[in-house]
Structure 1
Amino acid sequence: MSFKIAIIGAGSVGFTKKLFTDILCVPEFKDIEFALTDVSEHNLQMIKAILDRIVEANRLPTRVTATTDRRKALEGARYVISCVRVGGLEAYADDIRIPLKYGIDQCVGDTICAGGILYGQRNIPVILDFCKDIREVAETNVKFLNYANPMAMNTWAAIEYGKVDTVGLCHGVQHGAEQIAEVLGAKSTQELDYVCSGINHQTWFIDLRLNGRPIGKDELVAAFEAHPVYSRQEKLRIDVLKRFGVYSTESNGHLSEYLPWYRKRPDEITRWIDMSDWIHGETGGYLRYSTETRNWFETEYPQFLEAASKPIDREKRSNEHASHILEALETNRVYRGHFNVKNNGVITNLPHDAIIESPGFVDRFGINMAASITLPEACAATCIASINVQRMSVHAAISGDIDLLKLAVLHDPLVGAVSTPEEVWQMVDEMVVAQAAWLPQYAHAVPAARERLSTSKVKTREWAGAARRSVRSIEELRAEKAALKQAG
Structure 2
Amino acid sequence: MSFKIAIIGAGSVGFTKKLFTDILCVPEFKDIEFALTDVSEHNLAMIKAILDRIVEANNLPTRVTATTDRRKALEGARYIISCVRVGGLEAYADDIRIPLRYGIDQCVGDTICAGGILYGQRNIPVILDFCKDIREVADTNAKFLNYANPMAMNTWAAIEYGKVDTVGLCHGVQHGAEQIAEVLGAKSLRELDYVCSGINHQTWFIDLRLNGRKIDRDELIAAFEAHPVYSQQEKLRIDVLKRFGVYSTESNGHLSEYLPWYRKRPDEITRWIDMSDWIHGETGGYLRYSTETRNWFETEYPQFLEAASKPIDASRRSNEHASHILEALETNRVYRGHFNVRNDGVITNLPRDAIIESPGFVDRFGINMAAGITLPEACAATCMASINVQRMSVHAAISGDIDLLKLAVLHDPLVGAVSTPEEVWQMVDEMVVAQAQWLPQYAHAVPAAKERLSKSTVKTREWAGAARRSVRSIEELRAEKAALKQAV
Measured against the shorter chain, the TM-score band is over 0.9
Q: Any runs of at least 4 consecutive aligned residues in structure 1 with deviations exceeding 3 A, and if so which? A: none
Could you report, residue by residue, the CA deviation over 1:38-63 in whole angstroms, capped at 9, with x for unpaired residues? 00000000000000000000000000
Could you report, residue by residue, the CA deviation over 1:362-382 in whole angstroms, capped at 9, with x for unpaired residues? 000000000000000000000
For residues 328 and 318 of structure 1, what CA distance do their matches in structure 2 show? Answer: 16
Task: Give 1:408 deviation, angstroms.
Answer: 0.1
Task: Give 1:189 deviation, angstroms.
Answer: 1.2
What is the match of residue 205 of structure 2? 205
Task: Give 1:426 deviation, angstroms.
Answer: 0.1
Task: Give 1:290 deviation, angstroms.
Answer: 0.1
Normalising by structure 1, report the TM-score: 1.00
For residues 487 and 32 of structure 2, what CA distance do their matches in structure 1 show? Answer: 43
For residues 3 and 485 of structure 2, what CA distance do their matches in structure 1 show? Answer: 42
For residues 301 and 227 of structure 1, what CA distance do their matches in structure 2 show? Answer: 37
SS at match of 1:193: strand
What is the match of residue 318 of structure 1? 318
What is the match of residue 380 of structure 1? 380
Task: Give 1:335 deviation, angstroms.
Answer: 0.1
Task: Give 1:187 deviation, angstroms.
Answer: 1.1
Could you report, residue by residue, the CA deviation over 1:424-478 in whole angstroms, capped at 9, with x for unpaired residues? 0000000000000000000000000000000000000000000000000000000
What is the match of residue 42 of structure 1? 42
Could you report, residue by residue, the CA deviation over 1:330-378 in whole angstroms, capped at 9, with x for unpaired residues? 0000000000000000000000000000000000000000000000000
SS at match of 1:358: strand
Could you report, residue by residue, the CA deviation over 1:22-78 in whole angstroms, capped at 9, with x for unpaired residues? 000000000000000000000000000000000000000000000000000000000
SS at match of 2:247: coil
What is the match of residue 331 of structure 1? 331
For residues 150 and 190 of structure 2, what CA distance do their matches in structure 1 show? Answer: 29
What is the match of residue 444 of structure 1? 444
SS at match of 1:344: coil
For residues 96 and 190 of structure 2, what CA distance do their matches in structure 1 show? Answer: 38
Task: Give 1:275 deviation, angstroms.
Answer: 0.2
Task: Give 1:313 deviation, angstroms.
Answer: 0.1
SS at match of 2:66: strand
SS at match of 1:359: strand
What is the match of residue 63 of structure 1? 63
- Native 8 Å contact 1:3 1:77 kept in 2: yes
Listed as ranges, the gaps of 5+ residues in structure 2 are: none
Could you report, residue by residue, the CA deviation over 1:272-293 in whole angstroms, capped at 9, with x for unpaired residues? 0000000000000000000000
For residues 74 and 322 of structure 1, what CA distance do their matches in structure 2 show? Answer: 17
After superposition, the CA RMSD in angstroms is 0.2
Normalising by structure 2, report the TM-score: 1.00
For residues 287 and 252 of structure 2, what CA distance do their matches in structure 1 show? Answer: 16
For residues 453 and 189 of structure 1, what CA distance do their matches in structure 2 show? Answer: 53
What is the match of residue 129 of structure 1? 129
Task: Give 1:391 deviation, angstroms.
Answer: 0.1
- Native 8 Å contact 1:178 1:188 kept in 2: no
For residues 434 and 119 of structure 2, what CA distance do their matches in structure 1 show? Answer: 13
- Native 8 Å contact 1:113 1:414 kept in 2: yes
For residues 13 and 230 of structure 2, what CA distance do their matches in structure 1 show? Answer: 30
- Native 8 Å contact 1:124 1:394 kept in 2: yes
Listed as ranges, the gaps of 5+ residues in structure 1 are: none
For residues 306 and 353 of structure 2, what CA distance do their matches in structure 1 show? Answer: 47
What is the match of residue 152 of structure 1? 152
SS at match of 1:43: helix
For residues 179 and 204 of structure 2, what CA distance do their matches in structure 1 show? Answer: 14
SS at match of 1:2: coil
Could you report, residue by residue, the CA deviation over 1:98-120 in whole angstroms, capped at 9, with x for unpaired residues? 00000000000000000000000
Task: Give 1:129 deviation, angstroms.
Answer: 0.2
Task: Give 1:236 deviation, angstroms.
Answer: 0.2
Could you report, residue by residue, the CA deviation over 1:218-270 in whole angstroms, capped at 9, with x for unpaired residues? 00000000000000000000000000000000000000000000000000000
State the identity %: 95
